[in-house]
Chains A and B, each alone.
Chain A
């Protein structure tokens, strides 16, 4: 089942010429290590990197078609490689220490597409052992109590493990752009320039690269010296370039595109590592670690950093939920659902009240209930003036709570059917526009899927539908959850947030994005001020999940399925209309005006939040 993250659609980056670069099938390998691609059934090398002779002293021609052991004389290394080649192995305890030509190496193995990848890297010692690094990381991450503190602590830990000149924590925003939210410099950093707070254009990370980063794969580039080709046996038996045949998504040694090398050279970076932070099905951000000089980290250090990013992600979700007061909002949602349930139960139990002016106590109670749940109860109007319908007033507690529940600027409750209406709260598009937006589900917006998490959220609605500037201003953020299957829906809105952004270099224009320029490394990183618009504050996963759960609970309350023994409610379009007395106090269960109340069946509501169709 897809995670709730799959229901959140951030704004899409503009298409860019280099989006489809064959990064995973680049056909080259970084020069500091040897890659062997082995057919597991035979244990023989099918592809090997061209630098095998330079590093292991055996020509590629001799390795191809043979077992990898032929490149090693050290008996213990041969035994370990034979264990790796044991038929049926699916997992490997990486790294495996090897010796060749008097040098220490580490083999890192994985399976992909029916091939065994053996990556042989030179071994370097780390400043700390694995246990020390991981203990320090756990301690630093778990002690944090704020999101900003977590950012800073994680950047510090990245530096503790890597000892690189500069660590940047980069968070993706809507439209694929990003901002540096934390930075850590070595005390003697050779890269003193700071990018803290700087925005980077989406085009800096091609979509194909994002796909690989989404797998959680860390990228280490110890040197910017280019790459060597991966070779296979050609038709004449001689080594020939493998080209795009091999998918190197999970490989540490995957070659670097010249454009990427050029980008780092222009930044003055000689070595870098990129660690993706993945939250469920999405790429939250990146740790980008820079060193002025060439530098290489051993496997255990990289493993610690990968684990650090996972712990970071776990703690981030907790702290974000804490800062967004999700638990408080969950309690609020429960109270609201209980109110709706109580009102619905009361309405269900008093079918004979119609025209019964004597039963004023029960009617008063009903009225008070309906006053609170106007938006989420059957159609509700004011008895003495449709323009004074209390449910739409900002001081109405239930309406206010509905906004608080999603931390939204506005909300709309859309009731379908003959008695349908649109109830608007706070800053929203008008009722007609709300109906128009609701109609987009299944066409421009995805249809709500069945099962858990029937919800849709975006912080950039304008990316999915042509919206007027007015609509973008008020409804860039949309969180929508259906209530049942009849077309009823709650929509929450967030206003557009225009950021006065400082960019690391001028972001490319649309014309530039679709030009050959995108295949040349960027060389402008000077501060450039330009607004970042077209998106709202993003929705948190916990907020989206809460909205989905709330809508399900309301739907169940409407159907009378949440309370044991409760009678199912009549279909919404046939539900009664409660005429309420606006003179009652907002909490007016006990308040009495002495006026008569009348229930009328099936009448459509009118007034500012009434039927728009």
Chain B
């Protein structure tokens, strides 16, 4: 129901650490927090650390797809790391790997 987002920008790399549940209610908070990152011309790579994400819902997967598309249009690549097995399974089911990098 809630998500904590911390952003660290270090030159061209922005590391975004997420903790909590990514669902239809918390997705807007993530989106808000990522807006300055997307607007930062110095950043060309956004790394979303999902190690603290307990679960993710379909609408959030949709939000990540749109985020990736926006990032691409601004010459930024989006990657997801450290997702737990259940979140990873949902990402694969949603074919998220076709639009962003999942490690």
Contacts and interface: CB of A to CB of B under 8 A. Distances in A.
- Whether A and B are associated in the same complex: the answer reads yes
Interface of A: 1, 3-5, 90-94, 110, 130, 134-135, 138, 141-142, 216, 250, 278-281, 303, 306-307, 309-318, 321, 452-453, 541-542, 545
B66 A311 contact: yes
Given A280-B23, A314-B27, A141 B88 contact: no
Contact of B95 (A4, A135, A307, A321): A307
Contact of B62 (A91, A310, A545): A310
B95 A306 contact: yes
A280 B57 CA distance: 5
Nearest to B99: A134
A280 B24 contact: yes
B41 interface: no
Nearest to B69: A138
Interface string B70-103: 1000000000000001001100111101110000
A313 B66 CA distance: 12
Contacts of B45: none
A314 B21 CA distance: 15
Given A216-B93, A452-B1, A453-B1, A545 B65 contact: no
A321 B28 CA distance: 10
27 contacts: A3-B1, A3-B21, A3-B23, A3-B24, A3-B57, A5-B23, A90-B85, A90-B89, A93-B97, A94-B95, A141-B66, A216-B58, A278-B59, A279-B57, A279-B59, A280-B59, A307-B98, A307-B99, A309-B58, A310-B61, A311-B63, A317-B25, A317-B59, A452-B2, A541-B25, A542-B25, A545-B25
Contacts of B69: 134-135, 138, 142
B95 A314 contact: no
B54 interface: yes
A316 B57 CA distance: 14
Contact of A315 (B1, B62, B92): B62
Contact of B58 (A4, A130, A313, A541): A313
Given A138-B66, A315-B62, A310 B24 contact: no
- For the complex of A and B, the 4 pairs showing the least CB-CB separation, nearest first, are A310-B62, A314-B62, A313-B59, A311-B62
Given A5-B23, A311-B66, A314-B24, 17 more contacts: A1-B1, A3-B1, A3-B23, A4-B25, A110-B93, A142-B69, A279-B24, A279-B57, A280-B23, A280-B24, A310-B58, A312-B62, A313-B58, A313-B59, A314-B62, A316-B59, A317-B59
A339 to B, nearest CB: 25
B65 A1 contact: no
A309 B99 CA distance: 15
B94 A307 contact: yes
B47 to A, nearest CB: 20
Nearest to B88: A91
A313 B92 contact: no
Nearest to B26: A3
- Among A1, A250, A278, A314, which residue has the most Cβ atoms of chain B within 10 A? A314
A317 B1 contact: no
A160 to B, nearest CB: 16
Contacts of A5: 23-24
A275 to B, nearest CB: 11
A142 B97 CA distance: 20
A280 B93 CA distance: 15
A74 B97 CA distance: 28
Nearest to B63: A314
A255 B37 CA distance: 47
B78 to A, nearest CB: 13
A313 B97 contact: no
Contact of B65 (A311, A318, A452): A311
Contacts of B65: 134, 138, 307, 310-311
Contact of A313 (B24, B85, B99): B24
A556 B70 CA distance: 40
Contacts of B27: 314, 317
A216 to B, nearest CB: 5
A312 B63 CA distance: 9
A278 to B, nearest CB: 5
A66 B66 CA distance: 43
B58 A91 contact: no
Contacts of B93: 110, 216, 250
A278 B62 CA distance: 11
Interface string B4-48: 000000000000000001011101100000000000000000000
B28 A318 contact: yes
Contacts of B95: 94, 303, 306-307
A91 B94 CA distance: 12
Nearest to B59: A313
A306 B1 contact: no
B61 to A, nearest CB: 5
B62 to A, nearest CB: 3
A453 B21 CA distance: 13
A75 B23 CA distance: 44
Given A1-B21, A3-B24, A216-B58, A310 B92 contact: no
Nearest to A542: B25
A281 B56 CA distance: 11
Contacts of A309: 58, 62
A311 B58 CA distance: 9
Contacts of A1: 1, 21, 54
Contacts of A3: 1, 21, 23-25, 57
Contacts of A306: 94-95
B66 A142 contact: yes
A126 to B, nearest CB: 14
